[in-house]
Amino acid sequence: MCAAAREKGVVMLDAPVSGGEPKAIDGTLAIMVGGDAAAFETVKPILAKMGSSVVRVGDIGAGNVTKLANQIVVALNIAAVSEAFVLATKAGVAPQAVFDAIKGGLAGSTVMNAKVPMILDGNFKPGFRIELHIKDLQNALDTAHGLHVPLPLTAGVMEIMQALQADELAACDHSAIVRHYEKLAKVEVRK
Contacts of 185 (CB under 8 A, 6+ apart): 86, 87, 90
Handedness of CA 98, 163, 72, 172 (dihedral sign): negative
Size of the chain in residues: 191
Q: Which of 81, 90, 77, 68 is nearest to 178 (CA)?
A: 81
Instruction: Give Cα separations from 99 to 38, 110, 121 (angstroms).
Output: 44, 13, 13
Indicate if 186 belongs to the active site: no
Backbone angles phi, psi at 32, to 5 degrees: -110, 120
Helix or strand run (H / E) with residue 14 = strand 13-14
Contacts of 132 (CB under 8 A, 6+ apart): none
Q: Which of 67, 103, 125, 183 is catalytic?
A: 67
Active site amino acids: 67
